[in-house]
A and B are shown apart, each in its own frame.
Chain A
């Protein structure tokens, strides 16, 4: 098996910078290699770091990433404007299985970035998509309008109650699961949230797929930085069926820092 496909880093110029929410930015750039919803690229900000980022736009020659401008990421992304050169390699990792016909998408925070293109692709195949979309406040709801435009039903939860249900998005997900007959749940967000989603869907027999994140360096299954139990997020993921994560004690509890030390969330 040769899984090594796109070896060389490509330097591209960012074409668009879109402020999606006060804390979230989309960068669009030309990058021809085909990508599937769920996959990620390594984005190099020359002179600074190179980071794994899920593609929020996977179709066609113009790809995109959508990132929360906070902590480590912010200092890279804040300086990027149209015309800025960045390095791209990938896409890497697996994808969402688009075959289910009735899908519940549960997105917390910037988790919507990877779920939006997957939902779009599913809608294009005729699937019914319901989105439980959570954020701290109404202005931070990422891709709410994009989800609506693709014909998905969107149910919102905000921490401060400024839109939709006041409280956790998992509460919205639970009530959707109770009344809908879903064939699959796709989720991305804080791992505590994803664990709750799994706990709600499991008794109903609805399979859950989680898009996972870990500190990443090589992205080609070598350096072990993104180890998650027996898996590597870069080559075994980033999309994991919940049943694979159940036996992983670190899921929702520990991640590893850049030295490889296990650190509690």
Chain B
């Protein structure tokens, strides 16, 4: 049986499948549930300085299995109350990565320090939410901003810092390079792809916020392309995100350059037990293809071009 454990950026995980931020991450019990289901680690909902209700509904538009559109609007209980939830998950044994969002480098640094104090194994910076005014993509689209934010956070915390990169720009690899220059231990990509749903009967956008972000199988080829380009541009580890719902999807991301992957939308389609199925499928596929370890497949496709 192929070895699925991964070591990168100072992290040591039992398998490469992480619960993506924004899914099952508002409560500690849910984080614990994803861990118990088999995730290699769990990433919290993106947490801000103060409680935030998010947008009114509709916040999602559902399609067939190919995708899901959302504009939740970064709802979260705020860093004041959220440590309680992390503690619940940690008591259940979960390896928790804390995701944070903020409007500028100073606020990011302050927030990251409070997040680090909860004992999370790493911090992921949400530099890429495509639909929140003043946050996410709005502070993470310019390489100088990304470098400045990462540098400010890295100076404040001892745990590895992961910069989550947006695909909604002409040069995601440039953003990843900026994160590397700022001292990031790793980058994760991609966040959702900016997208819109229209209802023809009502002649209006479906989501209350209008614009949202697309996730799921539809964006896998976009995610793979970003990982591919980022792998060529940086030497820090990459976490792949976008439409991963099978062991093969994960291996494709690995061959494009990812050392681990995040899984989100598949939870909506298949339930949390997807974290039991994915490692099983991946191990089977690695065996079939003659890989002794998952890590041996990282970047494997790059030698063929």
Contacts and interface: CB of A to CB of B under 8 A. Distances in A.
Interface of A: 1-4, 7-9, 11, 42, 44, 46-51, 85, 87, 89, 217-218, 220-225, 227, 229-230, 232, 235, 256-262
B59 A7 contact: no
B268 A222 contact: yes
Contact of B23 (A50, A222, A258, A260): A222
Contact of A256 (B27, B60, B65): B27
Contacts of A218: 59-60, 70, 268
Contacts of A260: 26-27, 45, 51, 75-77
A8 B26 CA distance: 26
Contacts of B29: 227, 229-230
Nearest to A225: B26
A163 to B, nearest CB: 37
Interface stretch (B104-112, B119-127, B269-277): B269-277
Interface in B227-270: 264-265, 267-270
Q: Max chain B CB contacts within 10 Å: which of A9, A224, A261?
A: A224
B78 A259 contact: yes
Nearest to B72: A223
B202 interface: yes
A258 B54 contact: yes
Interface of B: 22-27, 29-30, 32-33, 45, 51-54, 56-65, 68, 70, 72, 75-78, 81, 199, 201-202, 204, 206, 208, 264-265, 267-273
Given A7-B62, A217-B75, 15 more contacts: A1-B271, A4-B268, A48-B56, A51-B57, A85-B202, A87-B202, A222-B60, A222-B68, A222-B265, A222-B267, A230-B29, A235-B271, A258-B54, A258-B75, A261-B78
B23 A259 contact: no
A233 to B, nearest CB: 12
B63 A8 contact: yes
Contacts of B26: 223-225, 227, 256, 260
Nearest to A259: B51
A224 to B, nearest CB: 4
Q: Return the 10 tightest CB-CB contacts between A and B, nearest first.
A: A50-B57, A224-B26, A260-B26, A227-B27, A259-B51, A222-B268, A258-B53, A11-B201, A261-B77, A260-B77
Contact of A4 (B33, B65, B201): B65
The secondary structure that dominates the B interface is loop
Nearest to B67: A7
Contacts of A50: 56-59, 208
A221 B57 CA distance: 15
Contacts of B264: 222
B45 A221 contact: no
Given A259-B75, A259-B76, A4 B269 contact: yes
A169 B60 CA distance: 38
A261 B59 CA distance: 18
A217 B57 contact: yes
A223 to B, nearest CB: 6
B12 to A, nearest CB: 27
A9 B208 CA distance: 14
Contact of B270 (A2, A227, A230, A259): A2
A229 B32 CA distance: 10
A48 B208 CA distance: 8
Contact of B206 (A2, A9, A225, A256): A9
B204 A220 contact: no
A257 B265 CA distance: 23
A137 B273 CA distance: 47
Contacts of A47: 204
Nearest to A217: B59
Contacts of A258: 53-54, 75
Q: Max chain A CB contacts within 10 Å: which of B24, B27, B33, B56?
A: B27
Nearest to B64: A7
B77 A44 contact: no
Contacts of B201: 11, 85
A1 B75 CA distance: 29
A212 to B, nearest CB: 15
A11 B206 CA distance: 11
A257 B26 CA distance: 11
8 contacts: A9-B62, A11-B199, A49-B56, A50-B57, A257-B53, A258-B75, A260-B76, A261-B81
